[in-house]
Structure 1
Amino acid sequence: MASISRRARKDGTTAWRVAYRDPGNPTPTSATFDTHEAADRFATMVDRLGGPAARRQLARLEDGSDGHTLAEVLEDYAARHRKLTPGTVDEYRRILTRSGLAEALGGIPVDLIVDDDVEAWVSARAGTISEETGDRIAPKTIKNEHGLLSTLLGHAVTRGWARSNPARGIELPEIELADPLVLTREQYEAIHQAMDPDYQALVQVLGSTGIRWGEATALQWRDITPGTPPQMVVRRAWKRGQKGAWRVEGLPKSKRSRRKFSIPQKLVDTLPDRGAPGALVFPNREGGAIAHSNFHQRKWVRACEAAGVTDPRPRIHDLRHYFASVMLAAGVPIHVVSERMGHDDISTTVKLYAFLTPEAQAAGLDDMEAMLI
């Protein structure tokens, strides 16, 4: 812990001395400043970064800087990317705070951030215990937070506020992909049967098309066209509004998420009475979007408990995995499944669902044996 003391110089002026110890060195180290503000700023860096890193930071500050902070870069980035919803920008601000990026790097001008600073943040973050779960922060969370940092630093380079992006190429904790929870047909039917009748059609759409919650609840009647067979178009999804509310209608997750495919007439027959072209297929009682949290607690959890599917209890998102499992078991090529689900890259589909295709692996073994002389 750095300490600050006031010292009188021989010429009558006042100096401020910051005393601290470097790790592994019992001898105190000190630095002297002309103002209390400068001493306090350096002491804060010592406590946050350690003596060596604080001295490097001080040297970079003395070399001069344009002074743009991460927070300022974020605001400029948001202003220049108008497709970002206010809710998304709010979430980016929250990420800077809860990830520790604002504390670790927020006081450092972006042109003075170096890879050592980013590596120190990654190391500290990997050792952080989540207050919600009691476990270490998940590697995927760190990857997402690092992605935002890299995006902002890259934007700073584009704007001429930094010479390079020190977040690029930083080694991150390895993400261990667990096999997704896949419902059996019996479990799916039991949950559907136990679901509030007003929402059974929504469960059917999620489980038989593989579209995401935000896409299903944003469907309008214009997106479902009669025919032989009928067609469904996914072209919008609910996104976060300000203060985290899911109330802003926008484009789906990515370009690959905007898709059109055939659906069974039997599925269309389960839908509510057809409304106006711009009306939601699955509205709440006020005609707006169904809130995920309310549906999860009041409908989904109760249906799972009534169906006896609780160990473990599936998520609503697991209906998407159910769809993939049914398609792959039926022999639908994995690239077609990938397109139907709106994955950006088929490798995502392969990584998620390769464990569902042991029959294909066995068939490959048979082909290999047939080639032997």
Structure 2
Amino acid sequence: MRGHIRKRGSTYSIVVDVGNDENGKRKQKWYSGYKTKKEAEKALDLLLAEIEKGEYVRPTNMTIGEFLDEWLEVYCKPKLAPKTYKSYSDTVRLYFKPILGHIELAKLKPITIQRYYNMLKEESKLSDTTINYHHRLLRQALKQAVKWQYISKNPCDAVDAPKKRNTEMKVWDIEDVKKAEEVLSNSPIFLHVMLAIYTGMREGEICGLKWEDISFKDGTCMVRRTAQRVNKKLIFKEPKTDTSIRIVALPQNIIELLKQEKKKQAENKILLGSAYDSSYEGYISVWEDGHFKEPDYVSKKFHKILAITPELPMIRFHDLRHTHASLMLASGVNMKVISERLGHSQIGITMDLYSHVSVDLQKDAIKKLETLLQ
């Protein structure tokens, strides 16, 4: 492939051979607007070097909106969980396309993206965490655009986004757990709360449990699906990572609660007969009549109960998972074991999340050491 320079009026242009079309005819691309011949020669050298290395990307008139539609359909839809896909598509539909969608993909500059983030903060009043999410999503999409050779570089790499602010982690202590067992013992989410505290499972994982996942003989539970409602449809799917599919050892009190629940469900089925809903037969998270007890209901009910129980600190249902990890750490359990119970893909995630607990434990250990040495 070759290229040359032509003078057009007071400026210079580059003409580059970029291969042949479907009929075998040579195709050329013009790049105009260079003020001096030296500037044009430098640009030509760079273009020819890209062509030689196979890094040259043919300019396209595709807009960012058109690309994002293709990215969602071709790349995201087959790979992502429905709930994650909805989050991606909603962000594209509500933010990216209305503001950036008309811009040609090849002409998107870092400064444009930076101004977009500034506008989200100043005009839309979005939090730094939300803007950081926009940045990660747009960067991921444009990374795929580079792989598909629509663009040669990812403009997001040259943009500084606000740092994500981690939600303050709130956990219960042992006394809170004992109080919760007393307060929630007759609530319809008692088993869900106890499973979260004593196993560290996620809300969707707890609701996705089936009786076939429980081994009363071994005292274990197999986590292999999660329940979630997306676009008004209840779905069950495998957890998002291989490490989320795991075996969790159960304490004796949870085994007893599960045995009681299984017996109760069998009795309800006989009692109600044809009125019993068998649509979700085999699932643990069901009402007395067999209807499914959904994750959204569990978390909302949990919040309502805490709102009228001042003696219990207000936390999210997900914080019960953090409570489990914190209590395990305080009991001297190895971080690797905790990571496996939580289903984290890397132990580093666990260590980052609970580093504050580790520091507190170190301080306690130092005090014990000082006492011993004295």
Paired with 2:198 and 2:165, the residues of 1 have a C-alpha distance of 28
Q: Aligned-pair distance for 1:165?
A: 1.7
- Cα 1:246/1:346, change in 2 over 3 Å: farther
Q: Aligned-pair distance for 1:104?
A: 2.5
Residues 142-221 of structure 1 aligned to structure 2 (within 5 Å): 142-177=131-166, 179-195=168-184, 196-221=186-211
* Corresponding position of 1:282: 285
* Corresponding position of 2:103: 108
Amino acid corresponding to residue 102 of structure 2 in structure 1: G
1:121 aligns with 2:108: no
* Corresponding position of 1:350: 351
Paired with 1:103 and 1:356, the residues of 2 have a C-alpha distance of 44
* Corresponding position of 2:86: 90
Paired with 2:251 and 2:112, the residues of 1 have a C-alpha distance of 55
Aligned to 1:235, which of 196, 201, 224? Answer: 224
**Which has the higher Rg, Structure 1 or Structure 2?**
2
- Cα 1:314/1:67, change in 2 over 3 Å: same
* Corresponding position of 1:339: 340
Amino acid corresponding to residue 101 of structure 1 in structure 2: F
Contact 1:233-1:261 within 8 A present in 2 as well: yes
Partner of 1:198, secondary structure, is coil
- Cα 1:117/1:69, change in 2 over 3 Å: same
Q: Aligned-pair distance for 1:169?
A: 4.9
Taking structure 1 as the reference length, the TM-score comes to: 0.70
Structure 1, unaligned runs of 5 or more:
1-62, 130-135
Taking structure 2 as the reference length, the TM-score comes to: 0.69
- Cα 1:307/1:86, change in 2 over 3 Å: closer
- Cα 1:342/1:170, change in 2 over 3 Å: farther
Q: Aligned-pair distance for 1:172?
A: 1.6
Q: Aligned-pair distance for 1:341?
A: 0.9
Paired with 1:233 and 1:350, the residues of 2 have a C-alpha distance of 24
The number of residue pairs the alignment matches comes to 297
Q: Aligned-pair distance for 1:80?
A: 4.0
Aligned to 2:247, which of 251, 260, 266? Answer: 260
Partner of 1:307, secondary structure, is coil
Moved over 6 A (4+): 274-278, 365-371
* Corresponding position of 1:304: 306
Q: Aligned-pair distance for 1:203?
A: 1.0
Q: Aligned-pair distance for 1:90?
A: 3.1
Q: What CA deviation, in whole Å up to 9, does each residue of 1:80-109 have, x standing for no partner?
A: 4514345443332211244x3223311112
Paired with 1:341 and 1:158, the residues of 2 have a C-alpha distance of 34
Q: Percent identity?
A: 24
Paired with 2:165 and 2:82, the residues of 1 have a C-alpha distance of 32
Paired with 2:307 and 2:339, the residues of 1 have a C-alpha distance of 31
* Corresponding position of 1:30: none
Aligned to 1:79, which of 74, 78, 87? Answer: 74
- Cα 1:348/1:84, change in 2 over 3 Å: closer
Partner of 1:303, secondary structure, is helix
- Cα 1:174/1:79, change in 2 over 3 Å: closer
Amino acid corresponding to residue 293 of structure 1 in structure 2: D
Contact 1:334-1:349 within 8 A present in 2 as well: yes
Residues 38-53 of structure 1 aligned to structure 2 (within 5 Å): none
Paired with 2:244 and 2:255, the residues of 1 have a C-alpha distance of 21
Paired with 1:303 and 1:190, the residues of 2 have a C-alpha distance of 13
* Corresponding position of 2:273: none
Structure 2, unaligned runs of 5 or more:
1-57, 267-279
- Cα 1:364/1:348, change in 2 over 3 Å: farther
Paired with 2:367 and 2:66, the residues of 1 have a C-alpha distance of 55
Partner of 1:273, secondary structure, is helix
Partner of 2:188, secondary structure, is helix
Q: What CA deviation, in whole Å up to 9, does each residue of 1:298-331 have, x standing for no partner?
A: x313321343246x52111111111011101100
Contact 1:78-1:89 within 8 A present in 2 as well: no
Q: Aligned-pair distance for 1:192?
A: 3.2
* Corresponding position of 2:323: 322
Q: Which moved more, 1:317-326 or 1:85-94?
A: 85-94
Q: Which moved more, 1:137-146 or 1:208-217?
A: 137-146
Contact 1:73-1:156 within 8 A present in 2 as well: no
Aligned to 2:235, which of 248, 265, 273? Answer: 248
